[in-house]
Amino acid sequence: MFNLLIKTTQFKRSKSAFWLALWCVTLQCTANAPATQQPVEEIALATLDSFTIVEEKLHTRNRTGRAKYAEKLPLTYNKTNLATFTLPHISQKLTFALEQQLTLLKRRKQNYAQNFDNISLTLTDLETTIELLLLWQQTFPQGLEEHLNAYQLKGKDGKGNVKFTGYFTPELKVSKEKVGAYVHPIYAFPDNWEGGLPTRQEIDGQGVLEGMGLEIAYTQRLEDIYYMQLQGSGLVKYPSGENAYLGFAGSNRHPYSSIGKHIKNNEAIPLKNISMKGIKNYFKYNPDKIEPVLFTNPSYVFFEESHKKPLGAGHVPLTEDYSIAVDTRHLPLGSCLLAALPVIDQNGEFSHHEYKFMMAQDVGGAIRGNGHVDVYCGVGEEGQRKASALHHYGQLWLLLPKPSNEIGPVFSDGAWAEK
């Protein structure tokens, strides 16, 4: 039936007819698939949205999840046969993330070709990928390799090892007025500012934005604002009981500099536990060090208030465990990826990898290159716990529709082409 579909010329220019026929193909393939290809009974309900990778030689991976003996990849994006993967279940939660991804893409109006080293793509290609995955919702996407190609990212080491870290939405107690201990302002983006935007030290140290009506709320601790800026959003709680989300509204476009690295390289700061918890504890007992340390990072993030769920840079709600922050010079917002995601056990140690579909819906100041992504881990203490535990390695594959010379005339309208 699939061969008949790609040979039938009347489908060449009719997208709606194509999707209807493709859905019929999907149903037939699912109905005819052997039972051994759909081991639903063997997978726990809680893990239907991912698929465990059976790693026969665990000694080939160290405790960080990095592959020890992987060979160098020749290209930045390396074409891989998707048929070699056991693809995860497209759950209801993943379906929500896919639908948000379509919303993100439809807001991006310019459909020009974007070049990323050895590949080129358009918004239409990204939309097609999402629409294909949505056809298989609530199922395991068998036969997806007939329509999509996977391109493995070479990673920072050139061997496909991609670092996965986590971020979350912190909860902060704030006041709408500057009163009592609430003295540190959270600022909106200064749209009317002329020239280069000020640094962190100029904003928080010299108060150059004071009196411009940009104050959204006030916090008790300056470092709380800093960590909310690192996460890109926050849930703020007012004394009245009202809650609101603060989302990313832009940055001052100054380079990001890690305060953790500054502390590590500064012999005058005797701190060994350079984690968020460790640094917060150090600030608690050394309040005179807060500004000098924070001001070593000139980068600054502005916020906007929303009563919706946490929003990423793509201005759509983030989905816990599925949304990722990327460097848009290497992966466009709106792209869909397949990840071999590192799974962390209760002791905070690397256990194994699981295949999982992930959505590029956010950016991060510390995310640079194609060898590092940030996974959104949720809200509050539980989100912080998950994010703090994740600093391990896996692999990533960018998913794109096959070009016309691989799949036939039904995709001849697409602009995707491999260089």
Residue 9 has pLDDT above 50, yes or no: no
**27 CB neighbour count, 10 Å cutoff:** 12
Q: 415 is written with which tokens?
A: 């602009």
Top-confidence residue, 346 or 26: 346
Residue 8: predicted pLDDT: 32
d(CA 90, CA 20): 19
Backbone angles phi, psi at 134, to 5 degrees: -65, -25
Which contacts (CB < 8 Å, 24+ apart) does range 110-113 have? 111/415, 113/415
pLDDT digits (tens, 9 = 90+) for 60-109: 567 889 988 889 999 999 999 999 999 999 999 999 999 999 999 998 87
Between strands 372-379 and 162-169, the pairing is: parallel
Q: 201 is written with which tokens?
A: 């030290």
The DSSP line for 77-96 is EEEE-GGGS-PPP--HHHHH
Q: What is the DSSP letter of 336?
A: E
Residue 16 has pLDDT above 50, yes or no: no
Q: What is the mean pLDDT of residues 27-47?
A: 39
The DSSP line for 191-250 is TT--SSPPPHIIIIIT-TTTTSS-EEEEES-HHHHHHHHHHTEEEEE-TTS-EEEEEEEE
Angle between helical axes of 222-231 and 276-285 (0-180°, round to 10): 170
The whole-angstrom distance between residue 172's C-alpha and the CA centroid of its chain comes to: 23
Q: Mapping DSSP to helix (H, G, I), strand (E, B) and coil, where does residue 345 land?
A: coil
d(CA 256, CA 15): 44
Q: Mapping DSSP to helix (H, G, I), strand (E, B) and coil, where does residue 157 land?
A: coil
What is the share, in percent, of the chain residues with pLDDT greater than 70? 83
CATH number of the 40-167+314-418 domain: 2.40.40.10
The DSSP line for 346-405 is TTS-EEEEEEEEEEEEE--TT--SSSEEEEEEEEHHHHHHHHHH-EEEEEEEEEEEPPHH
What is the share, in percent, of the chain residues with pLDDT greater than 90? 59
Predicted TM-score (pTM) of the model is 0.72
pLDDT digits (tens, 9 = 90+) for 192-245: 999 999 999 999 999 999 999 999 999 999 999 999 998 888 999 999 999 898
pLDDT digits (tens, 9 = 90+) for 295-333: 999 999 999 987 677 888 888 999 999 999 999 999 999
**pLDDT tier, 152 (very low <50, low <70, confident <90, very high otherwise):** very high
Question: Is there a contact between 101 and 334 (Cβ–Cβ < 8 Å)?
Answer: yes
CATH number of the 168-306 domain: 2.40.240.50
Residue 120 has pLDDT above 50, yes or no: yes
Backbone angles phi, psi at 187, to 5 degrees: -105, 145
d(CA 42, CA 218): 51
Name the residue ranges covered by the structural domains of the chain: 40-167+314-418, 168-306
Query: Looking only at Cα atoms, what is the longest distance across the chain?
Result: 74
Phi-psi region of 97 (alpha: psi -120 to 50; beta: other; left: phi over 0): alpha
